[in-house]
Structure 1
Amino acid sequence: MTPRVIFFDINETLLDMQAIKTGLATVLEGDETLVDLWFANLLHHSLVDTMSSQFHDFIDVGGAALTMVAHSKNIALDEKTAKDTIKQYITKLPAHDDVIPTLKALHSAGIALVALSNSSETGLNAQLEYANIKHYFSHVLSVERVRTYKPHPAVYHWACQQANVKNEEAMMVAAHGWDVSGAKATGMRTTFVERPGKMMYPLGLTPDHSIASLNELVSLVTR
């Protein structure tokens, strides 16, 4: 059954993060391996915000997480430099090669497409504009509006309401197991994109589909 609406995560799922890995490494003594640790810390502390009924901007959480990673490796880094460095690179990420052909085909098939991200509203719009994919989306939704980060169930329920679709008639597509599990728990159909180095959380909810390339999504949802 073709979903009425497909929601897409943005960072890593649609956008290639290599540029920010290279950029952030410049303040981490050139060690790109620490950038994955930074992203994990960013996700961890966004959940801390959610569970403690707080909300800080994505860049603020990212900056705090980056200074923590630097501190753990005895690298001097102040929070302003950390945030400025993230801002410099996060909105200048290209789309993966399989993204534009897939979005174009799905859009042509009459399926509504929605961007759903933990990025700030301003940052998210800038990201989509830079990657030249914003025009494919009927809605561009940032968790900033509900002041709660994915994968909290409230985000997916709110997103479906914004798109005027029932959860069970919608699909979440993401390269993050936590995002897929969060959406699945609210009744949405889910597709996990196996970007390099990414795998589902073994104890998480099983996605309806797993694909090696976004190109596979078109035949998956239109057959």
Structure 2
Amino acid sequence: MHLVFDVNETLLDTGALDPLFKRWFGTDAARSEWFLTLQETWMTANLVGEFEPFADLARSALRQLGAKHGVAIAVGDEQELVEAILSLPAHADSAAALAQLREHGHTLTALTNSALKAAHRQLDNAGLSGYFDAILSVESVGRYKPSPEPYRHAASHWGVATAELIMIAAHGWDLIGANAAGLRTGFIARPGKAMDPQLGDVPDWQDDDLARLVQRAVAQ
């Protein structure tokens, strides 16, 4: 079975960035605000048809947050954030869940909005890269998730229909995009994340433990 995993927040814990945001803004809650701003930035890039590297968008979102709160953001701060993103630790349940899937012969793909080189470095640093049969980035199609092109790219990579893929993510927008492209979906309820209970067919499975979630997804 083909399982496709989002990376940031799904497998990697962005909570590790909290100390940076507390230093800059006086509260680690600013990290969530920054990530929402980052999402808005790449959604806008999709809408206007202009693709920019993920790291540039991350820097831009930090500058926007600084301007909003009257905090001066230096170039060094931007680079410190980018380096910290590349060094995010894995969530406690990520490795065991991926190992379980590999042991049972499933095909695992990482599909991320991060740049390809950055994604490899992220997963290497987190000790997860060895579990994946393929690591794919949206930069190959010049469109960020939740546009359909990244999900179709994953299917094309393996020469299968999108209906043969299961997308696992901690973001409702990611799973809505995957579902619209024909994938089945599994929602991992990371802290602070929730799905609209009235969405109906999205997701097919959900849990707050990754191992349980993937067990349910493949036990069909």
TM-score, length-scaled by structure 2: 0.94
Higher share of residues assigned helix: 2
Q: Matched residue of 1:26: which SS?
A: helix
Q: Distance in 2 between matches of 1:26 and 1:209?
A: 38
Query: How many residues matched?
Result: 218
TM superposition shift of 1:88: 2.1
Q: Distance in 1 between matches of 2:70 and 2:20?
A: 19
Structure 1 residue runs of 5 or longer lacking an equivalent are: none
Match of residue 221, structure 1, among 199, 217, 220: 217
The answer to whether the 8 Å contact 2:59/2:82 transfers is no
1:54 aligns with 50
Q: Distance in 2 between matches of 1:66 and 1:201?
A: 28
**Deviation per CA, 1:153-185, whole angstroms, max 9, x where unpaired?**
111111111122211111000000000100011
TM superposition shift of 1:92: 1.0
Match of residue 185, structure 1, among 160, 180, 187: 180
Match of residue 23, structure 1, among 20, 42, 46: 20
CA RMSD, 1 decimal: 1.4
The change in CA–CA distance for 1:22 and 1:161 in structure 2 (over 3 A counts) is: same
When structure 1 is superposed on structure 2, of 68-77 and 193-202 the one drifting more is 193-202
Match of residue 123, structure 1, among 108, 118, 133: 118
Structure 2 residue runs of 5 or longer lacking an equivalent are: none
- Structure 2 counterpart of 1:152, one-letter code: S
Match of residue 13, structure 1, among 7, 10, 14: 10
The change in CA–CA distance for 1:119 and 1:203 in structure 2 (over 3 A counts) is: farther
The change in CA–CA distance for 1:90 and 1:107 in structure 2 (over 3 A counts) is: same
- Structure 2 counterpart of 1:162, one-letter code: H
Q: Distance in 2 between matches of 1:115 and 1:39?
A: 20
Q: Distance in 1 between matches of 2:215 and 2:27?
A: 39
The answer to whether the 8 Å contact 1:24/1:86 transfers is no
The answer to whether the 8 Å contact 2:86/2:125 transfers is yes
Q: Distance in 1 between matches of 2:133 and 2:211?
A: 20
The answer to whether the 8 Å contact 1:178/1:201 transfers is no
1:44 aligns with 40
- Written as runs of structure 1 = structure 2, the 5 A alignment for 1:137-152 is 137-152=132-147
TM-score, length-scaled by structure 1: 0.93
The answer to whether the 8 Å contact 2:14/2:88 transfers is yes
The answer to whether the 8 Å contact 1:59/1:86 transfers is no
Q: Distance in 1 between matches of 2:218 and 2:16?
A: 33
Q: Matched residue of 1:7: which SS?
A: strand
The change in CA–CA distance for 1:196 and 1:45 in structure 2 (over 3 A counts) is: same
The answer to whether the 8 Å contact 1:59/1:83 transfers is no
